[in-house]
Each structure stands twice: as structure tokens, then as C-alpha cells.
Amino acid sequence: MILVTIVVVVIFGAIELRKNGSRLHEIKLIENTYADALSYSVYAYEGIGIILPIQEVSKSPETYYKVVIAVILSVLVGYMFFGQFCCMAWGNSITPLITDELENIQQKWIGQVVILLFSLNLVFSYPLVLYPAHLVIE
């Protein structure tokens, strides 16, 4: 469901780029809200504390850290690419929730379906996040 959301956002971002060109020049490199960037970075990697107990039950614990580093680097590159792409497509008019940009398209039902799928993903992923926390508490 997240992949569908990302694909739809990239498609409509590409349409915006083709219509209006790059809006990257509208974005300031460093703004007064740099503390927000730090908090978003912490939020993006908050799950690391949850995945570390999984090392004990993994098939090969000795290669676990290599996998964790590869995943962290992949997420870092993905976040950087996606954020840069959205800044290029929507510039200063971008909203904190990128799915809000989908409501401005002409086919409103596509945006509503993507928002519904993304919300369902959050509901169904909650038990997956909760299970390692229960293991730690036990």
C-alpha cells in the first residue's frame, strides 16, 4: 500500500514537473526551522530500537548488522530522493502531508483511494510494530 502511494505521488509529481518545470529554486537550503529537520530525522529512524531484539531470533545473527546498515542506508537514500523530488515538483506550495497534494488533482477519486490505502496500511502495520515491543516487555 505504501508502494502504491509512492508510485502515485511520483506520477503526479512528474506531471507537475512537466507542466511547471522544477520549482527547486523556491526552496531555501537552510531555513529557520532546522530543528524540525532534526526531529523528522529522529522519527524516521525510531524503529531501530525495535528491530535490534530481532537479532537474537534471526537465522544468522553475525550478518545482522550488515543487513541493518544496508536497510538504514537504503531508507536514507529513499527519503532524500523522494523529498528532493517532491520539492522539485511542488516547491514552496508543498504541504506537510504529501497525500494532501493528491486532493488538488483533477481525478479526486485517485487521491482519495491512495489516502484510504495509506490509512489501511497504518492500521494493519500496527500489530507488526507492537509485537517486538511486547517481546521486549516480556
pLDDT number for residue 34: 63
* pLDDT 10s digits, 107-121: 677 777 877 887 888
**8 Å CB contact between 90 and 99:** no
| Of 106 and 39, more confident | 39
Helix (H, G, I), strand (E, B) or coil at 129: helix
Asked if 117 contacts 99 with a C-beta cutoff of 8 angstroms, the reply is no
pLDDT computed for residue 105 by the predictor = 61
8 A C-beta contact, residue 95 and residue 87: no
pLDDT digits (tens, 9 = 90+) for 28-84: 766 666 666 677 777 666 666 667 677 777 788 888 888 888 988 998 899 889 888
Query: Between these two residues, 37 and 17, which has the higher pLDDT value?
Result: 17
Structural domain boundaries in the chain: 2-137
